Amino acid sequence: MDCGILHKAAYDKSGWKDLAPDICRQRMIVEGTLHNTFDPPDMARYCLDISKTLDMTPVSKPTTNYADGYGHCCFMHWRESGMHIYAWDDRKPRFFSIDIYTCKAFNPDHVVTFTYEFFKKNLIKLTWKE
**Chain segment 6-29, per-residue pLDDT in tens:** 555 566 667 888 889 899 999 999
Considering Cα of 124, then 117, then 31, then 71, what sign does the dihedral take?
positive
CA 6 to chain centre: 29
Q: In this structure, what DSSP letter does residue 110 have?
A: H
CATH superfamily of 33-129: S-adenosylmethionine decarboxylase (3.60.90.10)
Which residue would you say has higher pLDDT here, 106 or 9? 106
Which residue would you say has higher pLDDT here, 74 or 8? 74
So what's the pLDDT on residue 17?
Answer: 87
Task: Return the domain boundaries, the chain.
Answer: 33-129
So what's the pLDDT on residue 4?
Answer: 55
Question: Residue 98: which of 29, 2, 14, 13 has the closest Cα?
Answer: 29
Percent of residues, the chain, with pLDDT higher than 70 = 90
Do residues 60 and 77 touch, judged by C-beta distance below 8 A?
yes
So what's the pLDDT on residue 12?
Answer: 64
So what's the pLDDT on residue 1?
Answer: 47
